[in-house]
Amino acid sequence: MKLEELLAPCPKCGSKDKIAHRKMLDNHRAHAEMDTVKCEECGYIFFVNENMEEDEKKQLLNELNKIYG
């Protein structure tokens, strides 16, 4: 995700506050990759990791939309 995208306001609510979710890659929590970036106010999803499996991505989007939708 580019810096300009992180700084841009949410197209849904206009908020600039975002939450980044990370996926831990090992048990020691030393390595992680970006999972999603979403708006803190309305839950609009800006970014979903392209390396995720399609089923995992759908499940994550469904969970996020239930919580923040």
In angstroms, the CA 62 to CA 40 distance is 17
**pTM of structure:** 0.56
Number of domains in the chain: 1
| pLDDT value at 1 more than 70 | no
Residue that wins the pLDDT comparison between 14 and 23: 14
Q: Are strands 32-39 and 45-48 parallel, antiparallel or unpaired?
A: antiparallel
Output the CA torsion sign for 9, 12, 15, 20. Answer: negative
The phi and psi torsions of 14 (rounded to 5 degrees) equal: 90, -5
Query: What is the domain range of residue 2?
Result: 1-66
19-56: per-residue pLDDT in tens? 888 888 877 777 888 778 888 888 888 777 777 677 87
| pLDDT value at 68 more than 70 | no
